[in-house]
Structure 1
Amino acid sequence: MRTLNRRFSTAPMMDWSDRHCRYFWRHLSRQALLYTEMVTTGALIHGNRERFLQYNDIEHPIALQLGGSNPDELAQCARFAEDWGYDEVNLNVGCPSDRVQNNMIGACLMGHPQLVADCVKAMQDHCSIPVTVKHRIGIDDQDSYDHMRDFVATVAEAGCEVFIVHARKAVLQGLSPKENREVPPLKYDYVYRLKQEFPHLDILLNGGLKTHDESLQSLQHIDGVMIGREAYQNPGILLDVDRLYFDTTPDSIGPMSKADIIRSLYPYIEEQLSLGATLSHISRHTLGLFNAQKGARLYRRHLSENAYKKGSGPEVMEQALAFVEQT
């Protein structure tokens, strides 16, 4: 079994961290642990399993995030994760959307710690890869530190050793998912205290992290950091991850410019186009790579206006790169 180093990981993000995104990210960091979008147990058991589980081997280390609350179904899907070669399977206890609440998925499960413990136990009984939990610090009026501590204690008794904490509570009624990522205040001190009380557990911090300086400072208190929106909107920050978090030299990837990294995607793009993808499925994840660089706006515009068109391929990427390579 692969030993996972969780000092830095990318967050599971619906509609963003798909397999094309992760393939691109892996060209920026060899070491970061990459998480899939959340996949519901129903989608895997009753839907097109290959569509949801397929990935490219270079994406390792990679974790599958599941959404569900039925222990038997989660156990079955945890087994799928192992059979498909995932390095970890993660249970979502943090998503606040109405759709998942109605199916007892996501953050609402924080109000049912014993059920989460039962789910974790069932998953562990059916796979040998690590089973982890990503959760909020609380929900609605159940947002005290004591509530979170008791939740973690209950789930840890079932055998979970890794907790990824989004350091905001979730407001289940009255805030949209987007607002739930921004409005409730961040309480990093809750997460730091959790590590102090449970030193034997791996505690990872998620939520609001935007710079390596603040992430590295947080690592003085906890075991790992997880960055989501910033990694997506400004993917260039991933270029420093291997050096800063894993003590590997920058040339472990190679002395490649950002433009050359884009060019290294061309064989993959050609392959995916032959399988029915459109260029925009892949290129959209690269739009922020050249942020703050001359020509970045024109790069984004060219791809936004052309990548969705039938027949668009690497030549469209090359045309876009011309805007950022001009001296």
Structure 2
Amino acid sequence: MEHIQELGKALVPLVLIVLISIIVLAIAHRVLLPKNGVDKDTALPRRLILIVLYIGALVGIALTLPVSDSTRNQVISLIGILVSGVIAFSSTNIVSNVMAGIVLRFTKPFRTGDFIRVNGYFGRVSEKGLFDTEIQTEQRDLIALTNSFLISHPVQVVRSSGTIISASLSLGYDLHHKRIEPLLLKAAEESNLSDPFVQILELGDFSITYQVSGLLTEVKSMISARSKLFSNILDCLHDEKIEIVSPSFMNQRKLPDNQAVLPPKAKRTESAVEKAPEELLFDKAEEAELREKAEQELEAQIVEAELQLKAFEGEEKAAQKLLLESLQESLKQLRSGDIDTTTQGNSDER
């Protein structure tokens, strides 16, 4: 009988630790991984916290086992060996990518929807994952760049406040630069570029290299803005009868000395509804950015609704509770992909 009582007393700490661990882990699951889903950016740290809690629970149970100190130390050592073995037997690349993903989550060098350039790759960020980051290129293709690759190479991020759009061309020495520079500035202004400026990059053996630049505040239209700048440069120079030809230009046909090599001037036609090519090229990145913004807005509305719910009473409280449940359901559907963020964004704008 005394032996049973002593065993019961020895098992009390173990039972308490097991119960506490179950309660803590259940609450952690409910808080860290709710039913309505979590944001992709916060999913990784939440799961890491759960893993740490599980390991802590195992260590706590091992410390309260009713066994001798040597046996307890062996159990704790076994847990350490198992954890170390999982890491050791995992691929080195996988571990490095996971660690790089954690670093990117904390440093946040770029966001979903940003234009980035890294080691010759250029595109908009369409997804940020645990092992890699996906970008959408100008050809509408998707490229997955490992997180360790992003950490080990300089990443150029286009600022959301604006970026510089430039165009370079070479003209002969027979054209005075004071005549060329105003025309290039005019082309930049017609391209809706702010604060345009012209630089002379090189004085070559046969030509002068000019570069016209300007600030584009709407960075999502980078591709079409650059094409528009090229087009306006051609129009402005051709309107002034300025030839853009190679210094070694030679034509087999005999032309009069006073005949300029210019294409016939054509009327510029504009369609009634112009659709920017970026909407097609970066559709997934655009959708990912809109989804992320929509999630942030819904999360803010849910927090505000929860605060107001505490202040209401009676019918107002019931109505506020229904509103809160509706917002939570919308957030759940948005994260599961059941809501079209593009359509929602257009309706909000209207």
Question: Over alpha carbons, which structure has the higher Rg?
Answer: 2
| Structure with the higher fraction of residues in helix conformation | 2
Using the size of structure 1 for normalisation, the TM-score is: 0.23
